[in-house]
């Protein structure tokens, strides 16, 4: 098997879906702007600096899901896709995914952003496999907690390996693997694959890519 893995936020997307989802809910009046906007910006700054406490962030990000019925959340998400996400999907990102698809590679998006936010985005790209942080559910409704290991930093590797095991596969059976990412937070998974590609990289990743001779490309 040849495996093409894609980070989502600021890689396939020219923005961050996690950050934009909170901003969307603030704009809709679902979340209080004074309380949530500064906190959302704070977490985003921590992520870029590599200092994010993922559990504190998930507590912030997932609790609003538990306050509303799934049918209402799905209605908001449909609007979110149209107004916030589709404008962040460029032709080069679609072309990259299509190139790997045309070569018969197995495609997966591997993202720290929760699967409620990202599953419709993966479908928009036509990527059949999504490895994401999973919100806990009870009777089809969200509890506000996280299920399983957050798909973040080294957690991306652990979640990928668990996904492969569920497919009856092991790392040694993968003939070749690619991972595309913009973030130094993804170095764990970039070191796992045979072909790491830095996409519009942050300064820390750009330096590592230069030192290791990894290719750098832009999808903007």
Domain residue ranges in the chain: 2-217
Longest dimension (CA), the chain: 51
Residue 7 among the catalytic residues: yes
Backbone angles phi, psi at 103, to 5 degrees: -90, 5
Nearest of 209, 7, 184, 211 to residue 107 by alpha carbon: 7
pLDDT at 35: 84
Which residues have CB under 8 Å from 84's CB, separation 6+? 15, 17, 20, 21, 23, 24
Domain 2-217 has CATH 3.40.50.1000: yes
Give dist(CA 171, CA 139) in Å, integer: 35
* 100 close to 109: Cβ distance less than 8 angstroms: no
Q: Is 9 a catalytic residue?
A: yes
Can you give the pLDDT at residue 51? 95
Q: Out of 7, 16, 182, 186, which one is annotated catalytic?
A: 7
Q: What is the DSSP code string of the chain?
A: -EEEEE-IIIIIBSS-HHHHHHHHHHHTTSS-HHHHHHHHHHHHHHHHHT---HHHHHHHHHHHHHTS-HHHHHHHHHHHIIIIIGGGB-HHHHHHHHHHHHTT-EEEEEEEEEHHHHHHHHHHHT--EEEEEEEEEETTEEEEEEESS-SSTHHHHHHHHHHHHHTT--GGG-SEEEEEES-GGGHHHHHHSSEEEEES--HHHHHHHHHHT--EE---
pTM listed for this prediction: 0.95
List pLDDT tens digits, range 166-204. Answer: 999 889 899 999 999 999 999 999 999 999 999 999 999
Give the model's pLDDT for residue 152: 97
Backbone angle region of 218, left / alpha / beta, with phi > 0 → left and psi within -120 to 50 → alpha: beta
Q: Work out the end-to-end distance of the chain between its first and last CA atoms, rounded to an integer number of angstroms.
A: 29
Q: What is the DSSP string of 126-179?
A: T--EEEEEEEEEETTEEEEEEESS-SSTHHHHHHHHHHHHHTT--GGG-SEEEE
Q: Which of 30, 21, 220 is nearest to 132 (CA)?
A: 21
Residue in 9, 16, 182, 202 annotated catalytic: 9
Low-confidence ranges of the chain (pLDDT < 50): none
């Amino acid at each position: 098997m040849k495996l093409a893995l894609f980070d989502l936020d600021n890689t396939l997307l020219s923005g961050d879906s996690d950050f934009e989802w909170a901003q969307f809910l603030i704009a809709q009046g679902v979340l209080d702007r004074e309380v949530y906007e500064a906190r959302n910006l704070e977490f985003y700054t921590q992520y870029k600096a590599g200092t994010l406490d993922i559990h504190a962030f998930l507590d912030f990000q997932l609790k609003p899901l538990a306050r509303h019925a799934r049918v209402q959340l799905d209605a908001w998400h449909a609007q979110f896709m149209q107004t916030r996400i589709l404008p962040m999907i460029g032709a080069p990102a679609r072309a990259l995914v299509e190139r790997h698809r045309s070569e018969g590679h197995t495609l997966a998006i591997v993202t720290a952003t929760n699967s409620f936010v990202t599953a419709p985005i993966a479908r928009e790209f036509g990527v059949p496999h999504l490895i994401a942080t999973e919100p806990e559910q009870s009777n089809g409704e969200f509890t506000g907690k996280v299920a399983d290991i957050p798909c973040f930093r080294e957690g991306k590797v652990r979640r990928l390996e668990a996904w492969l095991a569920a497919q009856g596969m092991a790392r040694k059976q993968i003939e070749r693997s690619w991972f595309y990412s913009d973030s130094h937070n993804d170095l764990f998974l970039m070191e796992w694959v045979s072909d790491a590609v830095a996409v519009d990289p942050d300064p820390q990743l750009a330096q590592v890519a230069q030192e290791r001779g990894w290719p750098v490309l832009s999808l903007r």
